[in-house]
Amino acid sequence: MDARTFQLDSSSCSYLPDQQSTTEFEMDPTLAASDYEQRMNEGWRKFGLLLFRPVCATCTACRSLRVLVDRFQPDRSQTRAWRRNLDLRVELAPPSVDDQRLELYWRYHQAQADRKGWESEWVDAEEYAFRFVQNTVPRVEVSIWQGEALCAVALTEVTPNCVSAIYHYYDPELRSRSLGTYIVLRIIELAKNLGKPYVHLGYYVAGCGSLAYKARFRPCEARHADGSWASVDLPIDLSATELCKVGVDF
């Protein structure tokens, strides 16, 4: 099957509500890892077989962000998050879907809806598999466990030069453990062990509080509209948390 391209017409932006957004999509069931890496370097992202990128007429705030793995040094709060969770078990495996994952995914989204105004989201096994399991690119699920209880999940894809963080979710009752930070640190460790120079964290949008955490994993670079990459060394705006109403962490 050949790739199919379509476009979602302008709508209110989920990252910056005062903006209008337009998104281009492409379904490609034959995409190779090297080809996807090139697409990421052109500003694309994807869930499963579905690629997407913003093509907004008046705004270029969505910028792909990547962490420089070999130069990364955790700050003090990240170091504390790492130490706080060393009692938990980490498993690396191909992504899968089961009742435990679906239930944790729902509880995470419900908690974010209550705290940040995200839209409540329930996905069934078929939709979860479409987003995170079905793929033509090698992928790794990073799961965090406390005994037999699933605490956090991160879905990643592996290309020749990077580990791409697709999505993560965690137990909202364990917020004091800073599991969101911890699981990103585990993704960076995975990239380092695989010899990949970059971890792609998806889009960074200045002014969107729910995406601000990405710029804390430094040094990192953001992609400009002309295709060049430049270091991100910006004040982290934590006052804008309520501006971002989406359920996409990566």
Where exactly are the structural domains of the chain? Answer: 62-243
SS3 152: strand
CA gap 234, 237 in Å, rounded = 9
The angle at the Cα of 57, spanning 53 to 62, to the nearest 5 degrees, equals: 40
Preceding peptide of 219 cis, ω within 30° = yes
Q: What is the mean pLDDT of the chain?
A: 89
Q: What is the average per-residue pLDDT within 162-179? A: 96
- pLDDT tens across 144-160, in order? 999 999 999 999 999 99
8 Å CB contact between 248 and 17:
no
Edge-to-edge order in the sheet of strand 4-12: 4-12, 20-27, 50-54, 45-47
pLDDT confidence band for 112 (50 / 70 / 90):
confident
| pLDDT score of 167 more than 60 | yes
| pLDDT score of 101 more than 70 | yes
Which CATH number is 62-243 given?
3.40.630.30
Q: Return the pLDDT at 117.
A: 67
